[in-house]
Structure 1
């Protein structure tokens, strides 16, 4: 069996790297069912650093370069590997909370085992989302303690059958204590030891404060602190903590009893120090550490361990394998030190218990467990990342709720921006969002007579009315204190308003709303043929078509529709080539609205060329954005220039909405059920079927995040994104009902 390992790797100085190296060696040495195992490594680089890796490292991933993750997935898929084993720790993968690992995992075509080195009890929204997705993708999730198993089940909803508990391995290295004490010139000393990366959470100051009472009775005692300051601490705080510790040693007058060794030693040297120590101490300052490699090593070496009761220590030191003392309790630690030093038989029993347990978790035994687990998973032959269609399942959708829209709306209109889920009053209001809000509540009321939707409708309609100028055009922006911020709004905002007003005229909940909307619509209509923006023309076409559904005899408006549609056709013919079926020389924003407008126009104009252009441009856009089985929107960061490459970042919910509406209209026009499937695929972009594989819909606030950025998800939840989600959700529900009726009529 061939196994691909992904994680940090030596010579990078990192605890996860040491773990990956040991696991690699152990699995390679473990007997396989069909012969020897083989392995390769994909190593994580950090912060622009590059390392002189050994030959087993076949590829590296730069932490903040997402393209490297995608390249690595492709490499592993063609490497011949049967299974991938990933080491996960927050901080080693790029993007917001390590989100860049998700596209990598989703592109793997082989089974996946993930070893979790951290399980957070109170994760942030993004940390939880990333962890849930990782566990969802993996065939098995390996953790090292029972506490971690329980937390995964309770906090993240992971099925127990998916979780494997395999202890942290320890090197099978042994030294005689007296021999190594002699080598280190410590024969006459009682030796306390702490090792590992140094940082504030390690609580070394607690151990230092406990020493004066101990050295008063045991003046030959020495406390060795072995380890470098953690690289992340160095980047943010320099050596501030180490300097603090040095000052504390001097203040306590214990300079002769403390040795700081600012080194990252290899395993052989480390086990010499562990063997030379009489007591090993981990005085961590809080409970939230689910795995400690340093603690495992101390147990493996047969040390007498004293620790605070953080999660891993409380479990590993049970059954007489060590002693615990309360967090930050200096006096209690002094008493435990003295008790063990006063009773060498007790200390020897702790050492014996630890050593015996350590024999059960040596790397050869741990490697064999991983190899056996990998063989079991591969033998099950799971259909990993199968190219199957997403089934439209309404029961899997979140409930349709207007909570966040109500939160954003006051008696003026809908606030355009939010700080996370809180309205950002400083940004005021805009016409675009109030038009979209009107459209959404009208769709909602039409569907289920929602009283809140009806109640909100006049607020958005009155905002539109207030922003209309005497010539029928509209202002766009209004401050929170109701001051106009522009004289004339963008053509895009004009077109979106006509879209909403047209829908109102075709679906008015009562006559008062209809008459108000009609006045605004026709006051604006002289401006229709003056429009220059291609997207404003498209939005206006859609609005006109909604109006014509209940006013099909309006020949004057049909002629305006024909003129605007011809404008799009001219642009299409000017820019179309054999390999570029589009209206411009680039794909920018709100792209799907262009074929959507043509699909709507095709309903009324009885022009085969309109229909042909609509379907041809829709197919072109679909090939670019749906070629991986999910929606990958053209990002607004750099867009997609003809003969260039599509930008991945700054993906906007507005583009996903346009794709949903486009396929919905294509289904209505053609009655082809395949378009409903594509509609659903596009909608699932909001719920995690996207390039970063994380949901933009916030199940807590009932809002939608503002987009996918280079760093991860933009967690602000403004009106545009939330309305895009809600309109898309309504379109899915409508399409499902229409498909059901079609199937009933043609069983």
Structure 2
């Protein structure tokens, strides 16, 4: 799925759809997965370097990011602070905290500080950015750019609506839901805000229970979910599962209860068929993840987002399942 420039966004079955080009969203995910891999071999480090170069080229001096590049290497949009900006910061912060390569860590901090000058009006963009900033503070506790970003994020977060039946800070669950409580936990720990940290833990516990049915994970569909909506619903996206696994791994660092490890194992099991359709969601021959779980089967295209969702979830599950060591 990767050429000399970057990793292609989409696939037709297992073949890259080169005419669809590349995107910052996916290259940020590439950077997260590659730099989070322990004792990574040269090929993995090379892919991390390619992702880092792509994200550098995507950034503007004011902090915003472009998202889409065509196969010829031409950017197709202008810099913004939409979700891809937040994911860019998430990727850079993860690299700064976890890469085995000192140059990658150094360059990631430089790029992070550039991107962190901006702010986004979008909650998920700011949540991804907050997770990245918290990663930076885990290795550079006094980094001023990360501290300013987290302070602004913490000031903007919904602290609870008082509704025990629907405590979610939005009228509907939409996409990448688990990043909202994960960011609250990460920011709460980083800036020593116990109330924010606990708000994230409570919200994630509610989300995990809401998205579990008959003993397996049943994520929010592409149509979203509100109070009283019937379930299960389709299409279900692998990225929802990996986002929940990431959030559970974050919660497990501050809360010893077993539900977080169980949540991660449920996320991994979802890819192996413990889901609402009883279908396996990855190809063991190619290693690719399938693009969607549908009521009548599986979308067999193996795009980058879905493939990285499988890898990311298995990275998290290795820590909690001896069979995956």
TM-score by length of 2: 0.94
Which structure has the greater CA radius of gyration? 1
Native 8 Å contact 2:113 2:145 kept in 1: no
Match of 1:456 in 2: 47
Tell me the equivalent position of 2:127.
538
The counterpart of 2:184, out of the listed 562, 583, 598, is 598
Give, in angstroms, the shift of residue 627 of structure 1: 3.3
Q: Verify: 1:585 aligned to 2:166, yes or no.
A: no
Please say if residues 36 and 95 of structure 2, whose CA atoms lie closer than 8 Å, have aligned partners that are also in contact.
Answer: no
Q: Deviations over 1:638-668 (max 9, x none)?
A: 2112343456101111100011111111111
Distance 1:600 1:418, change over 3 A: same
Does the CA contact (< 8 Å) of 2:264 and 2:313 recur in 1? no
Per-residue Cα deviation, 1:208-257 (whole angstroms, up to 9, x for no partner): xxxxxxxxxxxxxxxxxxxxxxxxxxxxxxxxxxxxxxxxxxxxxxxxxx
Q: Deviation string for 1:107-142 (max 9, x for gaps)? A: xxxxxxxxxxxxxxxxxxxxxxxxxxxxxxxxxxxx
Q: Determine the structure 2 residue equivalent to 1:670.
A: 255
1:470 is paired with a residue of what secondary structure? Answer: coil
Q: Which has the higher contact order (CA 8 A, sep 6+)?
A: 2
Aligned to 2:103: 512
Task: Please identify, of 660-669 and 619-628, the stretch whose mean Cα deviation from structure 2 is larger.
Answer: 619-628
Pair 489,424 (structure 1): closer, same or farther in 2 beyond 3 Å? farther
1:477 aligns with 2:38: no
C-alpha deviation, 1:542, in angstroms: 0.5
Pair 1:634 & 2:220 matched: yes
Match for residue 731 of structure 1? 316
Tell me the residue number matched to 1:685: 270
Partner of 1:141: none
Is the 8 Å Cα contact of residues 64 and 81 (structure 2) preserved in structure 1?
A: no
* 1:127-166 paired onto structure 2 within 5 Å: none
Question: Using the alignment, how far apart are the partners of 2:236 and 2:80 within structure 1?
Answer: 24
Offset of 1:555 from its aligned partner? 5.2
- 1:324-335 correspondence to structure 2 within 5 Å: none
Matches within 5 A, 1:11-410: 408-410=1-3
Aligned residue number for residue 621 of structure 1: 207
Report the structure, 1 or 2, having the larger strand content. Answer: 1
**Match of 2:283, SS?**
coil
8 Å CA contact 1:596, 1:658 repeated in 2: no
CA contact (8 A) 1:598 1:613 kept: yes
> Matched residues in 2 for 1:644 and 1:678: separation?
23
**Does 1:418 find its partner at 2:7?**
no
Q: Distance in 2 between matches of 1:565 and 1:707?
A: 34
1:552 is matched with which residue?
A: 141
Specify the alignment match of 1:237 in structure 2: none
Deviation at 1:504, TM superposition (A): 1.2
Secondary structure, aligned partner of 1:713: strand
> Corresponding residue for 2:83?
492
Give the aligned partner of residue 435 of structure 1: 28
- Mark the CA change 1:559 to 1:465 in structure 2 (over 3 Å): closer, same or farther: closer
Q: Which position in structure 2 is the counterpart of 1:6? A: none
Greater shift, 674-683 or 716-725, is seen at 674-683
Consecutive aligned runs of 4 or more in structure 1 exceeding 3 Å deviation: 642-647, 734-737
Q: Report SS of the residue matched to 1:526.
A: coil
Residue 92 of structure 2: SS of its match in structure 1? Answer: helix
In structure 2, C-alpha distance between the alignment counterparts of 1:618 and 1:539, rounded to whole Å: 15
Distance 1:711 1:482 in 2: 38
Which secondary structure does the structure 2 equivalent of 1:684 belong to? helix
Decide whether aligned partners of structure 1 residues 641 and 541 sit closer, same or farther in structure 2, where only a CA change above 3 A counts: same
Asked if the contact 1:545–1:600 (Cα under 8 Å) also holds between the matched residues in 2, the reply is yes
**Partner of residue 609, structure 1:** 195
SS at match of 1:587: coil
Secondary structure of 2:298's counterpart equals strand
Q: Conserved in 1, the CA contact under 8 Å of 2:133 and 2:146? A: yes
Contact 1:635 1:646 in 2 (8 A): no
| Distance in 1 separating the partners of 2:80 and 2:7 | 17
Deviation at 1:489, TM superposition (A): 4.7
Offset at residue 516 of structure 1 (A) = 1.9
Deviation at 1:576, TM superposition (A): 4.6
Residues 134-161 of structure 1: per-residue CA shift (max 9 Å, x gap): xxxxxxxxxxxxxxxxxxxxxxxxxxxx
Change (3 A) 1:603 1:515: same
Distance 2:198 2:32 in 1: 28
Tell me, in whole angstroms, the C-alpha distance in 2 between the residues paired with 1:605 and 1:417.
38
Aligned-partner Cα distance in 2 for 1:690–1:646: 13
Aligned match for 1:648, one of 219, 225, 233: 233
* Contact map agreement 2:36 2:99 (CA 8 A) in 1: no
In structure 1, the residue corresponding to 2:139 is in which secondary structure?
coil
Structure 2 unaligned segments of length 5 or more: list them: none
Q: Does residue 287 of structure 2 align to residue 696 of structure 1?
A: no
Q: Deviations over 1:440-495 (max 9, x none)?
A: 11112xx1332221121211111111111232211000001111111125611111
